[in-house]
Chains A and B, each alone.
Chain A
Amino acid sequence: MSPRLRDVRADFPILRQPSNGHRLVYLDSAATSQKPQAVIDAISAYYGGLNANVHRGGYDLAVRATDAYEEARASLAAFIGAPDPSGVIFVRGTTEGINLIASSLGALKLKRGDTIVVTAMEHHSNLIPWQLVAQARGAETVMVELTADGRIDLADFRRALERSPRIVAFTHVSNTLGTINPVAELVRLAHDAGAVAVVDGAQSAPHVPVDVKALDCDFYVLSGHKMLAPMGIGAVVGKPELLDAMPPYHGGGEMINVVKDTTATYAPLPQKFEAGTPNVEGAIALGAAIAYLRGLGMETVAAHERELVGHALEKLAAIEGMTIYGPMDERAGVISFTLADIHPHDLATILDHEGVAIRAGHHCTQPLMRRLNVSATARASFYVYNTEEDVDALVAALQKALTLFGLAHA
């Protein structure tokens, strides 16, 4: 049995405030996580003692800021098992990261008539960038279907690979269903078909141990704000030989070597993909978030969420009229559901009044919603600071919703 996670609620100052007169029960970490004091302090410490532009000034402060920024890169590389920090490109978040890959890898690899494979559970941020680059380059996107319980249909995945796609892009963990995909296997199949494998790690990096070397994916993309760090920082973690071959994404300062009137040569990795002043504060705070997560232990974090989700699934399934979407095992801390004929937005309003913050809507997965034959679901998502008490508060608030809609048992 894995070691139990210590009670970390006290580390998150935002959770001390009441919400609508109740204890705040924050169940929307799949949208963004709350921040521990250590991360908030890191931002303050950066501006209180370290702020200078990186990779430029020769003075002490600039050298120390650059060192701290590069340390954050190295700590992220180590956190997810990337052998070479030069393949870690800081970006604003997963959305920007996938746009970078689609645009730059697309320029390298895609010709008219080529195929890009995606799946029906992708967040719009791992779909629209591929649609855009496909349209721009005369290529085509093919969507892999899901099984009835919300996993990637491996037979359909293999069928899609028969088209010899140049690029296969899929998520590690579904932001709507919580499905944990067998990434290593999918990557192997993609490679066997000659494709580059791009993994959306936005919902996995915060929640489960990740080793990109073991997964062997060509690109892994993540967002800091979903893993205790601030908004506006994330990373593309790519194989350096591919990043070297790809053209730059944004042009500007910092990414150049020699600039002439009509041409330029570019900086080596990772600067080649980091035009302009980067989010130094965000990178350093991401480093602090990683240190915090390492202190808890990612195995322990994952075990805590497995236990919470197990508890929640059991309690939710016992509510009459409850429909739970997605697999009942191999699921991360995300549960999408609908309750009787109560629309998810009505549920969210009622739960909010009880201090329970959940998300209602399509969760930026409209193709998935169409396959589930719903326009929206309610979604509760969990993280390190959630407890069984939070699950119980969710269940009690759902009972109130049933009462309001005249559906409770007498």
Chain B
Amino acid sequence: MPDQPDRALQDLFQELILDHYRRPRNKGALEPHTHRIGLTNPSCGDELELDLVISGDTIADVRFSGRGCSISQASASMMTQLIKGKSVHEARALAARFNEMMHGSAEAARDKTLGEARSLVGVAKFPVRVKCALLGWNALEEGTKNSH
């Protein structure tokens, strides 16, 4: 099949990522919520709003809304699955780990605590797309910076 797109692209748009893009988990607004963080990427127009219910030290519930590319939407969807029920501290540690993976850390990419979000490892090969993958995680870090 000489006409197949190359491997890096196939990794980037693999089935699991497209599945989260087309069937995002925890999508929609969360009412009531304790935290709402809206982030936009003015260079590309992507918008994301993250709603959190933080009870004590725990992220009791989380949802996101907005629109954007497959990478930003899938990454946010995977993140919500990962952080629901975790402590704020744990969630922030995951965000830091995910950031490391996006900046090429092979060790972070092997870290099973990142769950399905590890499928986004291929984004690191597309530097202009890293900001897409980080949009949801940046919202999480922004929203919890005073809660831990």
> Smallest Cβ distance from A32 to chain B, in angstroms?
16
Q: Assess the B45–A349 pair: CB atoms within 8 A.
A: no
Given contacts A375-B47, A406-B18, contact A343 B13 (CB under 8 A): no
How many Å from the CB of B14 to the closest CB on chain A? 9
A400 is contacted by which of B5, B8, B12, B47 (Cβ under 8 Å)? B5
The listed residue (B4, B43, B47, B129) touching A349 by CB distance below 8 A is B129
Q: Is B9 an interface residue (CB 8 A)?
A: yes
* Closest Cβ–Cβ distance, residue A399 to chain B (whole Å): 9
B10 to chain A minimum Cβ distance, whole angstroms, is: 7
Is B6 in contact with chain A by the CB < 8 A criterion? yes
Asked if B5 contacts A343 (CB within 8 A), the reply is no
Check A343–B9 contact: CB distance below 8 A: no
Query: Is residue B90 contacting chain A, with contact meaning CB distance below 8 A?
Result: no
Q: Which of A76-84, A359-367, A383-391 contacts B (4 or more CB under 8 A)?
A: A359-367
Within 8 Å by CB of A375, from B6, B45, B71, lies B45
Mark A172-198 against chain B: 1 for CB-CB distance below 8 A, else 0.
000000000000000000000000000
Q: Tell me whether A376 is interfacial, beta carbon within 8 Å.
A: yes
Let me know if A320 is at the binding interface, CB within 8 A. no
Are A375 and B46 neighbours in the complex by a CB distance under 8 Å? yes
Decide yes or no: A346 and B70 within 8 Å by CB, A353-B6, A404-B5 being known contacts: yes
Residues on A with C-beta less than 8 A from B69 are 343-346
Instruction: Name the one of A350, A353, A361 contacting B45, with C-beta atoms under 8 angstroms.
Output: A361
The smallest beta-carbon distance between B88 and chain A, in angstroms, is 30
**Contact A376-B71, Cβ < 8 Å, known A350-B5, A353-B8, A406-B18:** no
On chain B, the residues within 8 Å of A406 by CB distance are 15, 18
Does A261 interact with chain B (Cβ within 8 Å)? no
| Pair A343/B10 contact, Cβ less than 8 Å | no
B12 touching A376 by the CB < 8 A rule?
no
B67 at the interface (CB under 8 A from A): yes
> Is there a chain B Cβ closer than 8 Å to A319's Cβ?
no
Number of interface residues of B (CB under 8 A): 26
| Max chain A C-beta neighbours (<10 A), residue from B5, B69, B126 | B69
A338 to chain B, nearest CB (A): 12
Closest chain B residue to A399 by CB distance? B3
User: With A343-B68, A345-B129, A345-B132 known to touch, is A350 a contact of B9 (CB < 8 Å)?
Assistant: yes
Please give me the residue from chain B that is nearest to A20 by CB atom. Answer: B6
B residues in contact with A346, CB < 8 Å = 13, 69-71
Give bound CA distance, A366 to B13, whole Å.
Answer: 27
Please, what's the 1-or-0 string for A341-384, where 1 marks a CB less than 8 Å from any CB in chain B?
11111100110010000001110001001000001100000000
On chain B, the residues within 8 Å of A343 by CB distance are 68-70
Map CB proximity to A onto B30-71 as digits: 1 under 8 Å, 0 otherwise: 000000000000011111000000000000000000011111
Further contacts, 14 of them, CB under 8 A, given A346-B70, A353-B9:
A341-B22, A345-B44, A345-B69, A350-B5, A361-B44, A362-B45, A375-B45, A375-B67, A376-B46, A400-B3, A404-B5, A404-B9, A404-B10, A404-B13
**B: which residues have CB within 8 A of A?**
3-6, 8-10, 12-13, 15, 18, 22, 43-47, 67-71, 126, 128-129, 132
A-B contact pairs, 25 of them (CB 8 A): A341-B22, A342-B70, A344-B69, A345-B44, A345-B69, A345-B71, A345-B132, A346-B69, A346-B70, A349-B128, A349-B129, A353-B8, A361-B43, A361-B44, A362-B44, A369-B45, A375-B45, A376-B44, A400-B3, A400-B5, A404-B9, A404-B10, A404-B13, A405-B13, A406-B18
